[in-house]
Amino acid sequence: MGQFVTDVNVLVAYDDPVRSPFHTPAGWEWIDVDLNKGAHGAYLYLVVERSAEGQPVTGIRVLKDDEKPPPGYQKLPVDLNRATPVHGKALFLAVTRQEGAGRRIVDLTVTDWKDGSQEIPPKTGYTRVDTNLNEGATGDFLYLDYLRATENAPSGSPATPDQENA
């Protein structure tokens, strides 16, 4: 049986991880895109935990300012615009493990559009969370994309675009 995402977190690196090694917790994977890229804020990185056991993540969204998470969602405590000089909005990720939120998520990625002048679509089969993770700051246009498992396949089997939108 395949693996799926069982947890998501945002870690703060207090120094540039290129100059100072970034330590990802054991069992977690680091997504190598600074979530404040170009915004000159704290170095923020998304980390995910994967497993074939446990409660899979079934939904992820971005909350703005004081927006409350929907029922069943857990708001992560790190502001994605943390320590940016231009801080027009506070942004937070929220995740759920509720069965009704969708099929299990098996992968997460961050897409960097640089200056936002030309849209970069998500990879085939991935769904985009429709909020720029640097919204309210002056950094790169960053978007969170996720891939769900197929409906009738083992939990780690990725969905095809047709299956995802069915």
Look at residue 152 in the predicted model and tell me its pLDDT. Answer: 53
Look at residue 82 in the predicted model and tell me its pLDDT. Answer: 92
Contact call for residues 22 and 30 (beta carbons, < 8 A): yes
Fold of the CATH domain 4-164: Vitelline Membrane Outer Layer Protein I, subunit A (2.100.10)
Distance between alpha carbon 32 and the CA centroid of its chain, in Å?
A: 12
Give the pTM. 0.86
Which DSSP string do the residues of 56-87 spell out, in sequence order?
A: PP-EEEEEETTPPPPTTEEE-S--TTTT-SS-
Give the model confidence (pLDDT) of 110-140 as tens digits: 999 877 778 899 999 999 999 999 999 989 9
